Structures are given as structure tokens and as C-alpha cells.
Structure 1
Amino acid sequence: MIEVHDLTKRYGDQTAVDGLTFTVKPGIVTGFLGPNGAGKSTTMRMILGLDRPTAGTATVNGRPYEDHPDPLHQAGALLDAKAVHTGRSAYQHLHALAATTGIPKSRVDEVIDVVGLHQVARKRVGGFSLGMGQRLGIASALLGDPDVVILDEPTNGLDPEGVLWIRNLMRDLASQGRTVFVSSHLMSEMALTAEHLIVIGKGRMIADTSVSGFIETAANESVRVRSPHANALHDLITGPGTTVLSVDRGLFEVTGMTAEDIGDRAAAAGIPIHELTVVRPSLEEAFMELTKDAVEYQSTLIGEAR
């Protein structure tokens, strides 16, 4: 388990992390989301004792990470896949980590097989692709068979097969009762993998909730309705608290009324319905809505910049 209380980090006049408090529980995948510059990497580094907080505390399994006598057995992390001696092979890199932390040599071969690097394990890391480097970083995180796994952008550089593999790996680790804390900008992957979200912006907490709860907070469901008698249907469902947006000929997007209510009203009035679809916002749409005021760099379209 990871517990963070009032965690704050300042660099001079700049506050990178501002009073964060949250708990990352075992048994589920927890996504850590936020725009660039939100403070995610700084928070992860403080959890792992790589940066000292200005105020507040961060503990892993009940104590500061650096106080554990067996840190790699407590938490394994992938923060920067490039932080490897490029002249070493993947096997040499992992063996050096194992030898200096009391991990048996047999475990090196195990994690190499887990991440699919067996065929290139004796090759120099300097010749690895970005995806291969990510796999080596994940192998390093798993080397101590830790209770807590912290991954920063683990799918970076992976091909579709690799993305599916890391998705299944995170789910499997969580199903074993481990704490899995993963930062990612791929909303589609978080929607498929994470059960809980911690979302920050400009160093501050935006949301600490389930994926479904986060989406519901950001936007209401709408109903897509299609009918050959569009005008009659429009008049029937228009009213206080209901918004009817014409999308195409005979097609509406309705908010403020359930699909059941729309169907019942249309049936009672004898109006045929050709489509009645509940439209739920995506995690990406919810994220964009709730973090729009915390984006560090605001861009415009080329035409708008003229």
C-alpha cells in the first residue's frame, strides 16, 4: 500500500506538488493522471525517496521507502527506462541489481522471460529500441518480486502487442493482491486497465475516485435519438431541464432525459423511433473537461493563430 499525506514539494518560488493526500490500495490498478507538468513524476519520486518533500509524508507498506531494509522487495519502479548503462547487456544490468540487493541470480532469468527479452538478453542495451528499453525497465521493477509496483508511462514505445501485454501484466499483478500505481497519458488504456484514478493538476488534487465516478463527474450521459418524424419528436421532448441538439437530419442528441422516458413519450404519441442509444462520455473526454484549467501549455489551431 502507498499512503501519501499532505505531500508538498517546492523548488524556490515554484510549487510542483501542493498538499496531496491519497492512498493507493492493493488488489486494483490505480491510474495516476494529469496534464504535463502536473507533478506526477515528482510525486512518484518522493514516494520512492528520490526527492525529499518540502512538507508531508509518503510511505510504502507503512514506512518511508528508504527505511525498508529490503526496498526492492517492497516496491519496484519504472520511472526512466533510459537510466541504464548502455554498454551493458540486459542480463548484466539485471544481474548487477540483483547482486547488490541480495536477490538470487535465478530471478534474473525469470523476469527476462516475463518481459519477453530472452532472445536479446545478452545484447548491449545501447542497441535496444524504445520498446525493448521499456521492457527492460519493467523487468527491473519486477526483479525483487515486490508488493508495490510503480510504473511511469509503461506503454511508451510499445507496439500493440506490447501494450496488450503490459495491460494484462498490470491486471495480473493486481489480481495477486499487489499495489499497482501507474501513470499514463493514454486515456484509452487507463479506461481498460484502471479501476481507480488519482488525477492531479498543477500539483493539486482534482479527483480521487473510481473510473466510472470520474466520468460521471465530468459530464452527463446523453441519448442519441433518430426518428422519421423529427419535428414532432423535437416538440415532444423539449422542455425545462432538457437540451435537444440537432446533429443531423432526423437525429438528435438529448441530455436531461433518459432513454426510457424518451421511448415512452414517443410510443404514447405514436411517433416511430429508429434509434435510441445511450451515449456515455469517454475517459478522455472527462479528463479533458476536468483538467482544462490545469493545462500548462494552451495550443490553438493554425487558422486560429493567424
Structure 2
Amino acid sequence: MIEARALTKRYGDTLAVDDLSFTVKPGQVTGFLGPNGAGKSTTMRMIVGLDRPTAGTVTVAGLPYRKHSAPLCQVGTLLDAKGVHRGRSAHSHLLALAQTHGIPRRRVDEVLDTVGLAGVAHRRAGGFSLGMGQRLGVATALLGDPAVVILDEPVNGLDPDGVLWVRTLLKDLAAQGRTVLVSSHLMSEMAVTAEHLVIIGRGRLLADTTVADLIARVAVGSVLVRSPNATQLAELLVARGAEVTGVDPGLFQVAGLTAEAVGDLALAGGVAVHELTPRRASLEEAYMELTREAVEYR
């Protein structure tokens, strides 16, 4: 479990993280979201002791990261896929890290196989593509078989097969009871991967909620309507102040009225309706609505 309490970080006059509190629980994938400059990377760095908080605390499994005697076995991180000596092979990079914690050599081979790099294990990391570098970063995070996994933009540079692999991996790690915190700007991916969301903007907490609850907050205000008398029904709806947009013959979208109101109006007008589908907001729409006033760079 990760627990942040009143976490604050200043860089001179810049307040990067502002009184931030949240908890990341085991057994689920938690998405860590926010606009560019929101403070996500700074927060992740404070979790693993790379930046010292100006105020507040953050613990992993009840202790600050630096207090763990074998941190790689407690927390696995991917914060910068380029943080590898370019002259070292993938195998040498992982082996050097493993030897700092007494992790057996066979574990290096295991994680390289897990991330699909077994065939290039002895190639220099400097020659890796962006996607291969991301896979090596994930292997580094998994090396100590940690209870907590923190990944910053893990699908960056991956092809569709790689994205699916990361998605499956994250879900498997959570299903094993691990704590999984992952940041991403791909809302479509978070929608199918994360169960819980921590969203920040300008360093402050905007939401700590489930994906379903966040989406439910947003009233999209449109209804898909199918009717054999579409023209007649559309005229009735426009007369009531609705905005009607044609989609296909006999099918249109209504904004400004609920599905119940559309159905009642159709009944009163004697117009048959074959479909009334309230449109559910996407995670992207819900996220954009929530962070609208917190965007740092427009």
C-alpha cells in the first residue's frame, strides 16, 4: 500500500505538489492522471525517495522508501526508461541491480523472458528502440518480485501488441494482490485497465474515485433516438428546445433533453420510438471536464 499525507513539494517559488493526500490499495490497478505539469512525476519521485518532500509524508508498506532494507524487493519502479547505461546489455544492467540485493541470476533471465527481451538480452541497451527500452524498464521494475509496482507511462512507444501485453501484465499483478500505480495520458487505455483513479491538477487532488463513479458524474446530455417517424418526432423535440442532429435515416441524436423526457414527448405526440439510448460519457470526456480548469499549458 502507498499512503501520501499532506504531501507538498516546492522548487523555489514553484509549488509543484500542494497538500496532496491519497492511498493506493493492493489488489487493483490505480491510474495516476493529470495534465502535463500537474505534479505526477514529482509525486512518484517522492514516493521512492528521489525527491524530498517540503512537507508531508509518503510511505510504502508503512515505511518511507529509504527505510526498507531491500527496496527493490518492496517497490519496483519505471520512472525513466532511458535511465540505463547505453553501453551495457540488458542482461548486464539487470544483473548489476540484482547483485545489490542478492537476487539470483536466474531471476534476471526470468524477467527478460517475461518482457520479451530474452532474444536480445546481450545487446547493448543504447541500440534499443523506444519500445524495447520500455520493456527493459518494466523488467527492472519486476526484478525484485516487489509487492508494489509504480510505472510512469509504461505504454509509451509500444506497438498495439505491446500495449495489450502491458494491460494484461498490470491486471495480472493486481490480481496477485500487488499494489499497482500507473500514470498514463491514454484515457482509452486507463478506461480498460484501471479500476481506481487518483487525478491531480496544479499539484492538488482533483479526484480519488473509481472509473465508473467518475464517468457517472458527467452528464453528457445526449440521447440516441430511433423512430420510423423521425421527422415528426424531431420537430416535436426542437419545439421543446432540444438540439437534434441526424445520424442515419430514422436515427438521430438529441441534446438538451433526458431519455425520459424524449419518451414522454413521443408518447404524448403518438410517435413510435424503437430506441432510446442515453449516451454514456467516456473516461476521456469525464477527465477533460474534471481537469478543464487545471491545465497548465494550453
Contact 2:4 / 2:23 at 8 angstroms: preserved in 1? Answer: yes
1:66-104 deviation per Cα after TM superposition (whole angstroms, max 9, x unaligned)? 100111111100000000000000000000000111111
Letter in 1 for 2:4: V
Equivalent-residue separation in structure 2 for 1:208 and 1:19 (angstroms): 14
What does the per-residue CA deviation read over 1:84-141, in whole Å, with 9 as the maximum and x for residues that have no partner?
A: 0000000000000001111111110110111000100010001100000000000000
Count of aligned pairs between the two proteins: 294
- Is the contact made by 1:233 and 1:266 (CA closer than 8 Å) also made in structure 2? no
Match of 1:301 in 2: none
1:226: Cα distance to partner?
3.5
**TM superposition shift of 1:41:** 0.2
- Note if contact 1:234-1:244 (Cα within 8 Å) is conserved in structure 2: no
Match of 1:149 in 2: 149
| Corresponding residue of 2:100 | 100
2:217 maps to 217
- TM-score (norm. length: structure 2): 0.93
Q: How big is the shift at 1:277?
A: 2.2
Gaps of 5+ in 1: 299-306
Q: 1:27 to 1:234 in 2, by over 3 A?
A: farther
Question: How do residues 93-172 of structure 1 correspond to structure 2 at under 5 angstroms?
Answer: 93-172=93-172
2:258 aligned partner: 257
Kept after mapping to 2: 8 A contact 1:115/1:139: yes
Deviation at 1:166, TM superposition (A): 0.1
- The runs of 5 or more residues in structure 2 that have no matched partner are none
Q: CA deviation at 1:263?
A: 3.7
Shift in CA distance, 257/218, structure 1 to aligned 2, threshold 3 Å: closer
**Per the alignment, in what secondary structure is the counterpart of residue 181 of structure 1?**
strand
Distance across 1 between alignment mates of 2:218 and 2:197: 13
Contact 1:8 1:18 in 2 (8 A): yes
Structure 1 residue identity aligned to 2:297:
Y
> Relative to structure 2, which stretch is displaced further, 245-254 or 288-297?
245-254
Q: State the secondary structure of the residue aligned to 2:242.
A: strand
Q: Which amino acid aligns with 2:242?
A: V
Distance in 1 (CA, whole Å) between partners of 2:179 and 2:10 is 27
- Match of 2:110, SS state, is helix
What is the alpha-carbon distance in structure 1 between the residues aligned to residue 61 and residue 231 of structure 2?
A: 60
Task: Please say if residues 244 and 252 of structure 1, whose CA atoms lie closer than 8 Å, have aligned partners that are also in contact.
Answer: no
Cα 1:238–1:138 change in 2 (3 A) is: farther
Contact 1:36/1:295, CA 8 A, preserved across alignment: yes
- Alpha-carbon distance, 1:252 to partner: 3.3
Q: CA deviation at 1:235?
A: 3.0
Matching residue of 1:235 = 236
Tell me, yes or no, if structure 1 residue 70 matches structure 2 residue 94: no
Letter in 2 for 1:168: T
Aligned to 1:33: 33
CA distance in structure 1 between the aligned counterparts of 2:99 and 2:116, rounded to whole angstroms: 22
Helix, strand or coil: the match of 2:32? strand
Matched AA of 1:14: T
Contact preservation (8 Å) 2:151, 2:181: yes
Match runs of 1:24-63 below 5 Å: 24-63=24-63
Question: Share of identical aligned residues, percent?
Answer: 65
Query: How far does residue 238 in structure 1 lie from its aligned partner after superposition?
Result: 6.8
Distance in 2 (CA, whole Å) between partners of 1:238 and 1:194 is 43
Aligned-CA RMSD value: 1.9
Q: Distance in 2 between matches of 1:44 and 1:81?
A: 14
